[in-house]
Structure 1
Amino acid sequence: MPFHVLTGSFVHESNTFKKGETGLQDFRDEVLDEGQAAIDRFGDVNDELAGFLDVGRAAGWRITHSVSAHANPGARVAREAFEHLAGIIVEAARAHRDTLDGILLSLHGSMVPSFCEDGEGELLRRLREVVGPDLPIAVTLDLHAMVTEAMVDQAQILVSYKTYPHVDMRVTGRHAARLLDATMRGDIRPRTLRLGLPMLDEANAGRTDVPESAALYHRAATHEAEPGILAVSINAAFSEADISEMGVTVLVTHDEGAATRAGEIARGLAQTIWDQRASVSNDFLTPETAAVEAAGFDAGRGPLVIADYADNPGAGAYGDATALLAALLKAGVTGGAFAPMIDPGAAALLHRHRVGETVTLDLGGKCDPAFGGGPLRLTGEILHLSDGTYTGDGPILGGITHSFGPTAVFRVQGIDILVVTLNEQMLDLQQVRTFGIEPARLRFLVVKSMQHFRAAFEPIAGRVIVCDTGALATPQAHLRPYTRVRRPVWPLDRETVWP
C-alpha cells in the first residue's frame, strides 16, 4: 500500500507592533486555495508544495492536500482567520486519520495570532490531539522563523530555508519530504534539537549575500552530510514580533543515536552567531543622504536601486511611509520611480480619473505617521491604470501570479510612483514592468523591501543603497516598545552575555 500523506500550507509572518489584525480576507487577497486548486497553482513553481509533490510522486505516495493559505506579513492573525484555516488542516487530519502515514506542512514559524503567541505551535498541538503522539510530522519553515519549544515538541522534522533572498522553497520542500519518506519507511527515527540565543535577530538577518552569514548556512549544509544528521537549520528570527520566545535559534534534526553530535553542531553554530552579533553589513542612509546619492548618480550601468528597508511590507511595515519620497521631491531629483506606495484610498481616487489627467491628492503616511512620515499633498499626472495583476519571472516569483489590487502609476515632479491597494513587497521586476515602468530607463528606483529585492533587482542595478526611513521595520530596534521578549536580549541590552 502506498503511504498516505496529508499536506498543507499556512503561512504568515506577524508584526505585533502593527495596528489592526490580519483577517481571512487578507489571505483571500493573497493565497487561499484548497485541494486541487492549490496543486494547480503551486505544483510546478518555486514553492514548498512543489517540492512535496516532487518527492511524493517519485515515492508513490497518496497525497491529500488540505489548503494553501498565505497572507502578506502584517498585524497579528485574527482569531476567525486562524480558526478557519487551521480548522481546514485539522479537520482533514481527522477525516483521514485512520489511513494517514504522515503529515507534511509548509509553515512560516513567526505567526502570532490575536489569542496566543505561537500560531505554529498551536496548530501542531491541535494536530497531535487528532493523530496522536507517534505519527511523523515534517514541517518546512522560513529562515526568519521564531522556533518555540512547542514546535519542536510536536513535530519530529523541521527544515528551514538556507537562502535570503529566499530562493530555495522547492528545495526545502523536497528536503523535508525525503526525511518524512525515510521516517515512514522506518529507515530513520528523527527528533529535532533546539538551541536558542538571546538575540532579537542574527546580525545580518540571515543575508546569504553577506560572507559571514553565508558561511553559517554553508556549514549547516556541510553538517547535513554527517551520519545521523538529517537537517541543520539556522533561524535568523523576526525582530518585529514581540513574544517571549522570540529570537535566533539553531535546529538540528537528527536520527536516534546522534543526539550528542547534534548538540555539538548546534553549539558551534550558535557560538559563531553570537561572536558575530555586532557585524552588521548594511550601511543605513538617511532619506536626505539617499536623495543626494540619487541626484548625482550616473545610471550608465543601470539605475541606482534604493531599498526603503524600514518600510518593508515583507516585515509587516505599512508600506506607506513618505520620508524618502519627500526627500527626493525636496531635492528635485528626477528620472526615477518609487514602488510601491500602498495607499488604497489614493489608488481608488486615481481610478476615478483617466490616464493623462492631472490630479491633486494626499498620498501615503495615513496608517501611522509616527513611523516614516505623514501624508504628502501632491499634484501629478496619471500614466497608467490597472487591476494590479502581474506574473513574476524572477528567482522568487517566477511563474506565480499575484495582484496589487487597483493600481496606478502617478508621475510627480519626474518621479513615477506606483500606487497600489494590496500589501506586497518588491520581489520581482514584473512588479514594475507590468505597469509600464522600465528600470533600464531610470536614474533611480526606490523599492520597499529589506533584502528580497536583491534577487531580481540587484543584477540590473548600477548600484544598491539601503535607507532607514524610520518606518515600522526600522533597524533601530530600540524604537519599538518591546514588552514580551525575555530580557536581557541583544541588542536592546548591550550587557547581555551568552552562554
Structure 2
Amino acid sequence: MSFHVLTAELIQECSTFNKGRTGLDEYRVEILETGAAAIAQRREARAELKGFLDVAEAEGWRVTHALSATATPGPIVTAEAFEHLLGIITDAAAAQKDSLDGVLLALHGAMAAEGCDDPEGELLTRLRAILGPDLPIGITLDLHTNTTPEMAAGANVAVSFKTYPHVDHVETASHAARVMQRLMEGRARGRTLRLKLPMLDEANGGRSDVMPTMAYYDRARAHETEPGILAVSVNSGFADADVLESGPSILVSYDLLTEGAAARAEQIARDLAGSIWADRDACANRFLSVAETCAYVQGFQPKRPGPLVISDFSDNPGAGAYGDATNLLAGLLELNLQNAGFGPLIDPEAAATLHGHALGETVTLPVGGKCDPRYGGAPLMLTGEIRHLSAEGLLVGDGPVIGGITFRFGKTAVLRVNGIDILIVTERGQAYDLQQFKAFGIQPETLSVLGLKSQQHFRAAFEPIAAEVIVCDCGALASPNYRIRDYFKLRRPIWPLDEIAGAPDFLIS
C-alpha cells in the first residue's frame, strides 16, 4: 500500500534576549522555499528533508512537501512571519487532509515569536484541529529544544538529534520516518511522554563528545532497541530563551500496542533525568576570561601542527548572540600576532563601508560592538588593509554540519589588522565549516591562532585541524553566566539560579 505523507521543515532557535526580530528576509538568507523548489535545494544536503525522502522513496510513499524554512538562530520571529510560515503548513494540511496518511515535521523546538512562546506546540495544536487526533504525526527536534506539553501531546513520535555538533540531521529524520511507516501500517500506535527537569541547562549543553553527556545518548540508543520503545530523546534545552519551559527534558515515544511500554517509558525518562541531575556540575569546558585567554595565547607551545583555535563562546550567533562582540578581538589585537584569523564578526555597516573601497586599500573604521555594547564590548576603531571583498558572501559547505548546503554571508570583507585577518560579514551565521573562511581567502589550517564565533558546532570541522582548542567567555549575550540575563518567565525554582534541596521534582506530561 502506498501512503501519502505531508512533510515540512520549520527550523529556528530564538534568543529572547536579543533585541532584534527575525522576519521572512532572514529565512530567505538560508532557505524559504516550498514544494519542488525546496526539495531541489535540500534533497542531497545534510538536512532532515533528505532523511524523510530517503525513507519515502524506499517505501514508495507519495510526498507532498509544504515548506522548507530555516534561519540562523537569532531574535524572536515577527508575528507576521510566524503566521505566514505556519499558514503554509496548515493550509497544505487542510488541502490534503482527505488523502493524508501521516505528517512529518522537521522542527527545532526553541523557536519563539511575537505573542507566542511555543510556536512548535502551536503548529501541532493547529494541525490536530485540522487532521484530528488519530492521524500519525512525527517530528524531529534539535537537542536544544525547550519541549512543551503541547509538543509532546501533538507528536506520536518525536526524535531529537543525538550529536552536538549536530551531524545526524539525516539519521534523525530517517528514524522518525521509519517509525512513521509502522504507525501508518497500524503495527504501532505512538504516544510521546515528556519529562521536564528543574534545570536551565545540562552540564555540557548537550555535547556528544564529552562525558558524562555522551553516555546519555548511548543509553538512549540502547533503550530504542527495547520492545515498545520507538524513540528516546535527551534534550539539553536552550537557556538563552526566557520561556516557561526552558531547560533539559527527556522525550520517550512508545507504542500503546505493546504491553508495559508506557510504564517502561516513564522509568527510562526518570532514570536518564536522575543521571542528568546528579551530573549537573560536571562541565567539561574551562571558560577563560579574555585576559586569561590572551595570556594562554602568549605562552602557547603547540604539540602538533595547526592553529590554536579559540571559541568566542559567549558571542555565538548560533545561540542568538549578536556576533559583534569585540572584547576578545581587542585582546588579541594587542598581542601583535602573525598569520591569525578571527570571525565571522557580524557588522553590516562595516562590511558596507569596506565595500566602498578597493582591495589593498588601508581603511580606518569602527568595527563591531554596535548592537548592544553592554554584552561583549564597544566598537573598535581599527585601521587595516582590505584583503578580500565578496558581494554575496556565497559558499557551499563541505564539512559534517552543513555539507552540501549553500550559505550566504551577504556583503563580506576580510580586513587585516595587526596580523589578524578579520572576517566581517553582513548576515548572521556562526563558524562551523572551513569553507566559511576558505571561500574568502583565509586558509584555517595554516594559521597560528583562529578565533571563532561559535560554541560547539565549530568542533566538527575545526577541531581536526587544530593544535588545541580553548574556550573564552568574553561576557557577550550567550555567556554561560546566566545571571547576566534577566529571566522572568521560567518555571521556578530552577538550577542554577535557585537552590533546590533534596530530590528534585520531575514534571511528566
Give the TM interval when normalised to the shorter protein. over 0.9
| 2:263 corresponding residue in structure 1 | 260
Work out whether 1:417 is the aligned partner of 2:426: no
Name which of structure 1's ranges 160-169 and 395-404 shifts more when overlaid on structure 2.
Answer: 395-404
Aligned equivalent of 1:359, options 346, 363, 379: 363
Cα shift at 1:333 = 2.8
1:340-379 deviations in Å (ceiling 9; x for gaps): 1100000000001010001000000000000000000000
1:198-227 deviations in Å (ceiling 9; x for gaps): 000100011011121000000000000011
Q: 1:197 touches 1:247 (CA, 8 Å); kept in 2?
A: yes
- Structure 2 SS opposite 1:32: strand
| 1:3 corresponding residue in structure 2 | 3
Amino acid in the other structure paired with 1:337: G
Amino acid in the other structure paired with 2:464: P
Aligned partners of 1:95 and 1:82: how far apart in 2?
20
| 2:338 corresponding residue in structure 1 | 334
Q: 1:76 touches 1:112 (CA, 8 Å); kept in 2?
A: yes
- Structure 2 SS opposite 1:354: coil
Cα shift at 1:293 = 2.0
Amino acid in the other structure paired with 2:441: G
Q: 1:23 touches 1:77 (CA, 8 Å); kept in 2?
A: yes
**Runs (5+) with no aligned partner, structure 2:** none
Q: 2:30 touches 2:406 (CA, 8 Å); kept in 1?
A: no
| 1:246 corresponding residue in structure 2 | 246
| 1:437 corresponding residue in structure 2 | 442
Cα shift at 1:288 = 1.7
Aligned partners of 1:131 and 1:496: how far apart in 2?
44
Aligned partners of 1:421 and 1:53: how far apart in 2?
33
- Structure 2 SS opposite 1:263: helix
Amino acid in the other structure paired with 1:84: H
Instruction: Provide the alpha-carbon RMSD of the alignment.
Output: 1.0
| 2:170 corresponding residue in structure 1 | 170
Q: 1:237 touches 1:249 (CA, 8 Å); kept in 2?
A: yes
Aligned equivalent of 2:289, options 275, 280, 286: 286
Aligned partners of 1:80 and 1:15: how far apart in 2?
18
- Structure 2 SS opposite 1:359: strand
Aligned equivalent of 1:395, options 388, 391, 400: 400
1:49-80 deviations in Å (ceiling 9; x for gaps): 00000101111100000110001111111111
- Structure 2 SS opposite 1:470: coil
Aligned equivalent of 1:455, options 451, 460, 465: 460
| 1:315 corresponding residue in structure 2 | 319
Aligned partners of 1:267 and 1:129: how far apart in 2?
31
Amino acid in the other structure paired with 2:407: H
> What TM-score, normalized to structure 2?
0.97
Name which of structure 1's ranges 20-29 and 171-180 shifts more when overlaid on structure 2.
Answer: 20-29
- Structure 1 SS opposite 2:464: helix
Aligned partners of 1:194 and 1:435: how far apart in 2?
45
- Structure 1 SS opposite 2:492: coil
Aligned partners of 1:392 and 1:290: how far apart in 2?
29
- Structure 2 SS opposite 1:211: coil
Aligned partners of 1:65 and 1:298: how far apart in 2?
53
1:293-334 deviations in Å (ceiling 9; x for gaps): 223334551100000000000000000000000111123333
Aligned partners of 2:194 and 2:383: how far apart in 1?
54
Aligned partners of 2:100 and 2:124: how far apart in 1?
16
Percentage of pairs with the same residue: 57
Name which of structure 1's ranges 34-43 and 454-463 shifts more when overlaid on structure 2.
Answer: 34-43
How many residues of Structure 1 are paired with residues of Structure 2 in the alignment?
A: 499
Q: In the superposition, relative to structure 1, how do residues 344 and 488 fare at CA in structure 2: closer, same or farther (>3 Å)?
A: same
Aligned partners of 1:495 and 1:176: how far apart in 2?
36
Aligned partners of 1:75 and 1:496: how far apart in 2?
34
Aligned partners of 1:22 and 1:322: how far apart in 2?
23
Runs of 4 or more, structure 1, over 4 Å off, are none
